[in-house]
Amino acid sequence: MLRTHYSSQITPQYDGKTVTVAGWVAKIRDIGKVKFLILRDKEGEVQIIAKKGDILDSLVDTITSLTRESVVSVTGKVIKNKDAPGGFEIVPEKINVLAKAEAPLPLETDPNIKSELDTRINFRYLDLRRKEVSAIFRIKDVVHRSFIKYLEAEGFILAHVPCVVSAATEGGTNLFPISYFENEAFLSQSPQLYKQMLMASGLDKVLIVTPVFRAEEHNTTRHLNESTQMDIEVAFVEDEQGALKYIEGAVNFIYKEVVKECKEQLKILGRTLDIPLVPFKQLTYTEALDVLKKDGINIKWGDDIPPEGERALCKNFNPLLVTKWPTDVRAFYSMPEPGNEKICRAYDLLIDGMEISSGAQRIHNYNILVSEMKRRKMNPKNFEFYLNAFKYGMPPHAGWSIGLERLTYIICGLKNIREAMLWPRDRTRLTP
């Protein structure tokens, strides 16, 4: 066998037992007649001690010849040693060199040596061997799985929808065109239209996790051109609060699961998470502008709230749901407030000074939806496949989406959202 145990599975209680560990050579220390090989696997590190006279000379020579980041499998006896990392070390009986790494390395894996983010992404497979980088993606995995776990317990069904579409999801122009046989097609901006159509099917509580693509020429530390969206849609709601209760519950549950399952990863990243308390504070858009005005930030009614405004709001309330947005700054399908059509039942969730989610109650009346599209100079014929679902019994419904990378970015306290994507796509990066 190439491995019987990961490093974390061995304890001083294994004293005298033979195990086989496998991984990458993190470092080699030479102290005269004694050599130490530090082997790294996905669970941590284990120390291999090679003392001349105690083991075969050929094993000492093998260790001497190794380059850092070579892949090896080591079979040996566990020896309890309170001074060794983990309280034990392994005396090798056999070393199998599975793949020798070239030297020098194109990316330094020593955690004390920092590399530029672009270089790290170019050699992501090496970058991930650093525990602080691996920790990010372990946390991201828990965020993803916790989202699904919570909503399935609430009766939601996991659905899958197309990523190749024929029309803009939100009526915008920021689309990536693709060649699709004889037809014009685009990469999807959002699963929005499809999850709304599902509300007419009887599957009235759905969750979706899918890649989305936005052809926006931004170059910020908080935007990507390809990201992962975690969505819900729920029918038979009276208003937007019918969906907001699920975002409160989902975020609260995700934080709890990360705190429970990722203690070591949070420690590596130097993070202490405060679990958001339910219910979240809610302010209307107009109330939020009043709060910002008191802080010296003046925003014209009808304009979007800029990043500095989001940060200022979260200094007062964190998390914060901003509700009742101006209709004209939200998507065409957002439900206008009865009696005041300048306002709609849309909302954003802000955490730690950043928007991580947006949503709304949707227009479910066919005629009103078509009228709103025409008002916005959209051609309803381009959305016939979507609009047809509203002709044959569409219940009131609402939903929202959370950006997986953005939430991971916030939880991990990262400086750039690209750190939360294995191989990010932005304005200038298409490889690897």
Which of the following is catalytic: 129, 362, 406, 418?
406
User: What is the 3-state composition of the chain as percent helix, strand, coil, each rounded to the nearest 5?
Assistant: 35, 30, 35
- 355 catalytic? Reply is yes
- 5 is a catalytic site residue: no
Smallest CA-to-CA distance from 265 within 120, 132, 86, 418 is with 132
Amino acid at the residue 221: T
Q: Which residue of the set 5, 222, 271, 427 is catalytic?
A: 222
Nearest of 37, 38, 42 to residue 9 by alpha carbon: 42
Does residue 214 carry a catalytic annotation?
yes
DSSP 3-state assignment of 283? strand
On whether the CB atoms of residues 402 and 229 are closer than 8 A, the answer is: yes
Do β-strands 281-284 and 336-337 pair in parallel, antiparallel, or remain unpaired?
unpaired
Compute the C-alpha angle 360/283/361, nearest 5°: 10
DSSP classification of residue 168: -
Q: Are 111 and 131 in contact (CB under 8 A)?
A: yes
Active site residue 120: no
What's the rounded Cα separation, in Å, for the pair 300 and 333? 23
Catalytic residue status for 248: no
Catalytic (active site) residue 406? yes
Give the active site residue among 214, 330, 345, 364. Answer: 214
**Active-site residue, from 3, 68, 138, 223:** 223
Residue tagged active-site, from 43, 132, 216, 264: 216
Spot the catalytic one: 271, 358, 425, 429. 358
- Give the phi and the psi of residue 402 in degrees, each rounded to 5: -120, 135
Which of 337, 355, 372, 405 is the catalytic position? 355
- The question of whether 358 is a catalytic residue gets the answer yes
**Which of 145, 151, 157, 38 has its CA nearest to residue 89?**
38
Cα distance between the two ends of the chain: 33
Query: Which active-site residues does the annotation give?
Result: 214, 216, 222-223, 355, 358, 406
